[in-house]
Structure 1
């Protein structure tokens, strides 16, 4: 006997954890890994990351159409995508490049991100139907989001700290991460297999319903501006801790603190949203993030504990970002295009584009300032790193806050 669908929420959490481990941590670990292991330049890595996101401009809508075309075989399509994503991750971190490293980096990321995009589109489309099955009042989206995004944050926590754990044990850190990821991906696919194809009649209506809707357009802009600060800090986190704080070895514990704070706070933000609305709760979290992260600008050598406090506060704020904004967008999709995959293709593209744009804008700038990973850096290079890491995210978050405040939602 299978469990009632409303009781399969842990499977959503585990699957979200695997997807999250294939997203944000790649931008944290992969660039530094290829710089340190193969001598690839920051500028080259940033260019490749940006080029891959340009491919997504065309690819993500096509993947949305593909998800709709394969709806009768959705379980099989998801299984193949999971296998591709796991294989790409193994190739990225556990295989010595048989071709020039920058091209291998590009090829493996193409596999990982293509599979990731297809799975994300299918997963969030299924989530709309699932939330409707749970509760027609709209609270089902918040309940599902608490499980899904908290699971995602836990996945990020584990992915962010695993390389440090393996390094401490004397094992290959990134190869070990890739192996664990592949095993977890298979386990997650098995857990959620009963959900695919149930109660979901995916349709392909194009981007029209989403882009013609003023609220959806504004929410996509909010998502773009709100994801950008996380993209900036993710791209530069390891460099900031190692070089600006002069604290090599602390990257893993500080990353873990940041994401554990996010995971722990996510359910609390969700419960608060049910009381005072998701929009007000999300705005409060944005203010907390700006206030907390602004202090990172003045940090320097040895300020580990001060940075730990910043990680704790800004991580807690991230829990609201990753839980409430997807729930708000999913609720809007249920109103204007409940079965259309294109809305989630746009959402997936926006989330990834910010990470790529951060890479292409920041990594070459840092290299141009004379920054060297793991080497001796001038005060100019270190100050450039601080400005990019701390000031830029605060400005972007202020923009996101203003856009959200000006967006009228059904709950207002």
Structure 2
């Protein structure tokens, strides 16, 4: 029963993660009329808030562990309201931009609270490294289901006749999902974490936590970049707008099917030895996208399969390594996963902050007529720059100390 609850809660959280960055650039520019540079500035400002907020949320959950069920309710209802404000409600006064900022702050805050709670509770429920990696499989399965659902829903709802390209109904659907998941997962919070050593910078550094946090940040940047630009690349560079949904399904289905393979391989050969080939696969996949001409449907499908499989390794191995590190050191998980959540969100925001103004400077217009130079900039931002960053992540994996990657 707890495994099912873990999958459901992971599915809810996933809807506010990667899919938000897949939809947000096109939604904000086309539906709301916000420029790419303005959106990048908004996301950068929210990440400054997260720098203080995420560790604070972790401290709160560690300080009052008996209130985890209450915190989970706040996270679920906060996300529900945030989805409605972002996608469904349109302000009649005050302009779109202030409302967009309010909606995103609420949504990201609730998402952070849910993420910190969830990863800390997973560690408490597992009780052993072996059980932790089994729970990680259920967690990532739910995560992938949530990503696929949230990535595809707007286009499907739009095809069924929903207004605003399906986004208005999308917000209502996700709000309902959050409420239902909260109700079904109330039993997830009955287990109270055992007393642990309070988190400190010195203890986290000694346990190898900062190395893993840095790796998580750098390694998340490439997929954050490609996710942010995915719809632009498929619709404007490849000129295959009707294929965006099927490509997303293929990408995340490949990631989901690869998770059990990577999990067993990590148990047998070690995390470092598995992360390295997975990262190489990601580079080979995305660098190939730079050479695709318009209309290359099959070629991009193969890239989705390869890059999705590489993502599966990132999703399951790095969080488990971080959880194992905390368990070995006896450190409280709440604040630590507050930092982990911040690193993941910082990568997504950094991708938008770095790439969206670059596209605007090149003259790129989403859904419009674009020059060869603008499309070339899009190609470099989508395919080449992420590969260069992935090379840095590979070097960081090879330098991980044995105590960090040990079971």
TM-score range, shorter chain: over 0.9
* Structure 2 equivalent of residue 128 of structure 1: 123
Is the counterpart of residue 74 in structure 1 residue 68 in structure 2?
A: yes
Bigger CA drift: 390-399 or 73-82? 73-82
**Is 1:374–2:364 an aligned residue pair?**
no
What do the CA deviations read for 1:106-136 (whole angstroms, capped 9, x no partner)?
110000000110111111111111121xxx3
TM-score for the superposition, normalised by structure 2: 0.95
Match of 1:323 in 2: 316
- Equivalent residue number for residue 89 of structure 2: 95
SS at match of 1:301: coil
2:216 maps to 1:223: yes
Matched, 1:107 2:98: no
Match among 386, 393, 397 for residue 386 of structure 2 = 393
Match of 1:59 in 2: 53
Question: What are the Cα deviations for residues 5-34 of structure 1, in whole angstroms up to 9, with x where unaligned?
Answer: xx4112101111110111111111122111
**Alignment map for 1:246-257 (pairs within 5 Å):** 246-257=239-250
Match of 1:30 among 19, 24, 40: 24
Q: 1:204 to 1:46 in 2, by over 3 A?
A: farther
CA deviation after TM superposition for structure 1 residue 204, in Å: 7.9
Verify the 8 A CA contact 2:290 2:383 in the aligned structure 1.
Answer: yes
What is the correspondence of 1:178-257 to structure 2 with a 5 Å cutoff? 178-201=171-194, 205-213=198-206, 215-257=208-250
**CA 1:208–1:311 in structure 2 vs 1: closer, same or farther (change >3 Å)?**
same
Contact persistence 2:197–2:331 (CA under 8 A)? no
SS for the counterpart of 2:231 is helix
Show the counterpart of 1:4.
none
More off after superposition, 104-113 vs 30-39: 30-39
Partner of 1:356: 349
What residue in structure 1 maps to residue 159 of structure 2?
Answer: 168
CA RMSD of aligned residues (A): 1.6
**Equivalents in 1 of 2:323, 2:402: separation in Å?**
12
Question: Which residue of structure 1 lines up, in the alignment, with residue 3 of structure 2?
Answer: 9
In terms of mean alpha carbon deviation, does 238-247 or 91-100 score higher? Answer: 91-100
Distance 2:382 2:69 in 1: 41
Per mean C-alpha deviation after superposition, the further-off stretch among 360-369 and 277-286 is: 277-286
Tell me the alpha carbon deviations over residues 336-373 of structure 1, each in whole angstroms, 9 at most, x when there is no partner.
24434221111000000011111111000100000001
Alpha-carbon distance between aligned partners in 1 of 2:303 and 2:399, rounded to the nearest angstrom: 28
C-alpha contact 2:22 2:227 (8 A) present in aligned 1? yes
Residue by residue, what CA displacement relative to the aligned partner does 1:60-117 show, whole Å, maximum 9, x if unpaired?
A: 1111122123322221221122101111111100111343212211110000000110
Q: Which residue of 1 aligns with 2:150?
A: 159
Structure 1 unpaired stretches of 5+:
1-6
- Residue 280 (str. 1) matches residue 269 (str. 2): no
Q: Choose which of 318, 328, 334 in structure 2 pairs with 1:335.
A: 328
Distance of 2:197 and 2:69 partners within structure 1 = 19
Q: What's the offset of the Cα at 1:177?
A: 1.8
Hey, what does 1:270 align to over in structure 2?
Answer: 263
Cα distance change, pair 183–204 in 1 and its aligned pair in 2 (3 A)? farther
The verdict on how the C-alpha distance between 1:215 and 1:378 changes in structure 2, with shifts beyond 3 A counting, is: same
Q: Deviations over 1:206-242 (max 9, x none)?
A: 4425542262111111101110001101111111111
Matches of 1:52 and 1:19, distance apart in 2: 18
* TM-score, reference length from structure 1: 0.94
Structure 1: how far apart are the matches of 2:367 and 2:275? 37
Shift of 1:199: 3.1
C-alpha distance 229-53 of structure 1, shift in aligned 2 (>3 A):
same
Structure 1 CA distance for aligned equivalents of residues 107 and 197 of structure 2: 24
Structure 2 gaps, min length 5: none
Give aligned pairs, total: 402
Deviations 1:110-168 (A, max 9, x none): 00000110111111111111121xxx3x2222111111012101110111111111111
